[in-house]
Structure 1
Amino acid sequence: MRALLARLSAIFVAVGLLLTSQVLTAPQRAAAADPGYLMVHFTGEGATNQQMYLSHSTDGVHWDDLDGGGMVLRSTVGTKGVRDPALVRAPGGGKYWIIATDLCIGCGQSWSDAINNGSRNLVVWESTDLVTWSQPWLLNVAGAIPDGRNAWAPEAIWDPETNDYVLYWATNTPLNGATKHRIYYARTSDFRTVTTPRTYIERPGTQEIIDTQIIEVPSGVGNYRYVRASGDGQITLEGSNSILGTWTTLGNLSGIGLTGSQVEGPMWMKFNGSDKWALYLDQYATSGGYMPVLTTDPSDPAAYRKQAAGSYDMGGTKKRHGWILNLTAAEESRVLARWPDTAVSRLQSYNYQDRYVRHANFDVRIDPGVSPAEDARFKVRTGLAGTGTVSFESVNYPGYFLRHSGFDFQLVHNDGTAQFAADASFRQVAGLADSTWSSFQSYNHPDRYIRHYGFQLRLDPITTATGRADATFRVTS
């Protein structure tokens, strides 16, 4: 009888899970007119993978790499590497920040260094339109924590009770007889200054906690206004009605076979137009990148369902610990226009065909045998000054463009001004020395062209055969 009852129970459970999983099937691709989702993430180890990448989705489970899978922001401060980004939108939508861990494993820093004597700073970028970003700056958040040894996995959420942001992150500290990662928090309104850090989440004994992300849940769903998911040996769920109030433990995802030894980096996403969420988890133990787990109630551990591998597509690059933003139609239009899948090109000199335009210490010249090769690779974009022009964006320093100043060329970060756009825009015309090649006429000095002189790039009027040869290039892969 016990065996029969066990079999019947198993059948009922299986049927229940099947019905529930049908309800939580990943949605079909949304109509093209619907605004989609933007994910900011890193892609792995190494200097280039520990930078900022963007992906876009129309339905929240099928992702396309923006800019052909190339990096879109590069840290030039601190360790010169970044991981675990959060993308924060101001309540009014007029300002955005990316905040990230200042960490570059394998770039002269080991995991032991990062844990015990890592950067106490976060890396921050700011934007007013989601496409033109400031230069990065360092925000010291852990320096005021006694013997704080690092600052990892930052997140932020707007607190309507105090009209500022609760910024929270993990720091490894010795406290109460245990050295481990705890979650600390501080308040900020601009991500340039913060209040004195305070302990936010601490697990008992020697148990660490590193990754935490909070989502606000609409009224009528579950019993809590806020739910947070944390990596602390499990993927633990907690609920509260106040960001800095009392949090209640709700359970974890071990019931669906997901523990902290398998996955990390919980990342929330709410599907547009429905009370359905995806909790993305980074399969770090198998180097698998993100996978979605779907639910109709973030506060109920029993409501989560893993998805079959064929029901989602993470795109061409590995997605690691990041953040998903539900886009407005205007934001989506700007983002997709800024980062189309543009081919990577080189500019070959006509009269020195073993030489290519490259940047070196942000100066611009033509050289043979360019090393690293990325210094001679550019995205030929629609011109910053508008239709009919082109601009040259560096592949390994995204956001940096070839710009003339005093008729000399440098690789310069786009400051978003009209003057920069004009200085960095050119009309591509038939080559002055060979019409099958190209020459590039200045947008704001139309009597002048890009040319090399003494192998340095400059902007000159062209009046001689030598000048015409110097001002002729081939756009090639």
Structure 2
Amino acid sequence: MSKILLRLVATLAAACLLFTSWVVTAPQRAVAADPGYLMVHFIGEGSTGQQIYLSHSTDGLHWNDLNDGASILRSPLGTRGVRDPALVRSPGGDRYWIIATDLCWGCGSTVDGSINNGSRSFVVWESTDLINWSQPWLLNVAGAIPDGRNAWAPEAIWNPATNDYVLYWATNVPLDGKTKHRIFYARTSDFRTITTPQIYIDRPGTQELIDTQIVELPAGVGTHRYVRASGDGQITLEGSNSILGTWTHLGNLSGIGLTGSQVEGPMWMKFRDRNEWAIYLDQYSSGRGYMPVTTTDPSTVGTYQIPASGSYNMGVTKKRHGSILTLTAAEEGRVLARWPSTPAKRIQSYNFPDRYVRHANYDVRIDQNITGPDAQFRLRPGLAGSGTVSFESVNFPGYFLRHANYDFQLVRNDGTAQFAADATFRQVAGLADPTWSSFQSYNHTDRYIRHYAYQLRLDPITTTTARGDATFRVTN
């Protein structure tokens, strides 16, 4: 009998039993309105791909790119690129952190330099609501490790035994002149200070190990409370009843044709409506990004299966090494409202129609025939009031066009009322042509966005020339 037919029979049986027992629930997703899942990840190489991206799924297998596939956070620190982000929620659900590798392949760094003299720090952001994030900071984790050459692939898990987080990652400490990444750990309560790093996982000889992620299992499932998956030439599984206790080798995924030479970056997800898990694996050797492998018992190697290719969809962008959070309804509502599907637009000049508004080094002007992301903006609901608009940069998410002393710059939203007012405008009929648009300042209502000597300014409009300068078309 097929899996689909078996689940249909189970669902019908559960529906019948509901009339006689209040403790039986259907194994299928109960209602479409149940909250889904949030994946934080990066998408590829280069300075744009190695930033923070989000994707959402209602069922854990079909994913949609949030923010129209654009990054939601960019790192201005260290290498100015981030990989392998981990999303951590506090036990009380009132605080979140994103912790990522400070690494930007193809951004001026060499492979050997990143391995043997790379960043010893992680990039960390903090939030209280999943949508407003702090300025990032660098957390030095490998500086105290003797001959520690880098710090890669951070993960963190709450440890009830010590009432803090176990932060763990890979650092290269060479052995006999050869590269050897091992997993280290430290304890932290705030991701700003850590205890002295200790070795967490070390394979024999020169065998390296880079990617590890731990999943906690509910009572009654499997033989261990925790299972960890690691990339060490295989995707190796180990089990324990204590995060910092003794771990038992459980096997690997070579039996279903997956080895560490093909996949990396194991990422766990628990389906909310049934005792089934997915471990997502990054198909780095073929350049295809994540694929799911499902299991009903992460501690038993024989239960792992590769789903049929048509049973899942990873969305438009490539999904690479990250982590998944099962959302509450409140979290999902905030995230989907903050990063809806909003198309990228260009702002075309009326009297110089070959020129478009663009930012360069955070200054704003109109330039000729600009098609790239520097000239693309998302028209968001106005930060300061209804019926207004604000212009968010596509390639610098969280940065908006803002006037200061009547000059325009691209500036990061600091969450203040002053910023919101300075970055908010009323879209009105074009002053030179009512079929186009002009943008009136929210807090200086006698002034409009206009260009002057190709620079964007906020000015009173009193002449025919100025009316042309203050008229624009929102276009693709």
Same fold (TM over 0.5): yes
Secondary structure of residue in 1 paired with 2:345: strand
Aligned residues: 459
Change (3 A) 1:60 1:47: same
What residue number does 1:390 align with?
A: 389
Amino acid aligned to 1:380:
L
What residue number does 2:173 align with?
A: 173
Secondary structure of residue in 1 paired with 2:46: coil
Rounded Cα–Cα distance in structure 2 between residues aligned with 1:22 and 1:235: 30
Q: Is 1:80 paired with 2:83?
A: no
What residue number does 1:4 align with?
A: none
Rounded Cα–Cα distance in structure 2 between residues aligned with 1:119 and 1:174: 16
Deviations 1:261-285 (A, max 9, x none): 1111100000112211101111112
Rounded Cα–Cα distance in structure 1 between residues aligned with 2:315 and 2:40: 13
What residue number does 1:206 align with?
A: 206
What residue number does 1:10 align with?
A: none
Cα contact 1:70–1:395 (8 A) shared by 2: yes
Secondary structure of residue in 2 paired with 1:281: strand
The Cα shift of 1:146 comes to 1.0
Deviations 1:273-331 (A, max 9, x none): 22111011111121121111111111111111111111111111111111111111111
Across the aligned residues of Structure 1 and Structure 2, the Cα RMSD in angstroms comes to 2.2
What residue number does 2:247 align with?
A: 247
What residue number does 2:400 align with?
A: 401
Rounded Cα–Cα distance in structure 1 between residues aligned with 2:95 and 2:308: 37
Cα contact 2:37–2:59 (8 A) shared by 1: yes
Secondary structure of residue in 2 paired with 1:285: coil
Change (3 A) 1:20 1:198: farther
What residue number does 1:37 align with?
A: 37
Q: For 1:142-221, list aligned pairs within 5 A.
A: 142-175=142-175, 179-221=179-221
What residue number does 2:236 align with?
A: 236
Q: Is 1:446 paired with 2:445?
A: yes
What residue number does 1:7 align with?
A: none
Rounded Cα–Cα distance in structure 1 between residues aligned with 2:3 and 2:345: 51
The Cα shift of 1:136 comes to 2.2
Cα contact 1:178–1:205 (8 A) shared by 2: no
Rounded Cα–Cα distance in structure 2 between residues aligned with 1:394 and 1:178: 44
Amino acid aligned to 1:162:
T
Rounded Cα–Cα distance in structure 2 between residues aligned with 1:461 and 1:235: 64
Cα contact 1:391–1:426 (8 A) shared by 2: yes
Rounded Cα–Cα distance in structure 2 between residues aligned with 1:115 and 1:348: 45
Secondary structure of residue in 2 paired with 1:375: helix
Q: TM-score, normalised by structure 1?
A: 0.91
Cα contact 2:123–2:139 (8 A) shared by 1: yes
Deviations 1:156-191 (A, max 9, x none): 111122222111110000258864000011112222
Cα contact 2:122–2:141 (8 A) shared by 1: yes
The Cα shift of 1:354 comes to 2.3
Change (3 A) 1:203 1:22: farther
The Cα shift of 1:419 comes to 2.4
What residue number does 2:325 align with?
A: 325
Deviations 1:65-99 (A, max 9, x none): 11221222222111111111101111222221111
What residue number does 1:462 align with?
A: 461
Rounded Cα–Cα distance in structure 2 between residues aligned with 1:68 and 1:391: 17
Change (3 A) 1:373 1:20: closer
Secondary structure of residue in 2 paired with 1:299: coil
Rounded Cα–Cα distance in structure 2 between residues aligned with 1:454 and 1:386: 31
The Cα shift of 1:21 comes to 12
Rounded Cα–Cα distance in structure 2 between residues aligned with 1:22 and 1:416: 51
Q: What residue ranges of structure 1 are gaps of 5+ in the alignment?
A: 1-14
Amino acid aligned to 1:156:
A
Change (3 A) 1:344 1:30: farther
What residue number does 2:425 align with?
A: 426
Cα contact 1:67–1:340 (8 A) shared by 2: yes
Rounded Cα–Cα distance in structure 2 between residues aligned with 1:337 and 1:362: 27
Rounded Cα–Cα distance in structure 2 between residues aligned with 1:38 and 1:165: 21
Deviations 1:109-135 (A, max 9, x none): 222221111111111122221112222
The 4+ residue runs of structure 1 with deviation greater than 3 A are 18-23, 27-32, 175-179
Q: What residue ranges of structure 2 are gaps of 5+ in the alignment?
A: 8-26
Q: For 1:287-366, list aligned pairs within 5 A.
A: 287-366=287-366
What residue number does 2:53 align with?
A: 53
Amino acid aligned to 1:323:
S
Cα contact 2:57–2:64 (8 A) shared by 1: yes
Rounded Cα–Cα distance in structure 2 between residues aligned with 1:317 and 1:186: 33
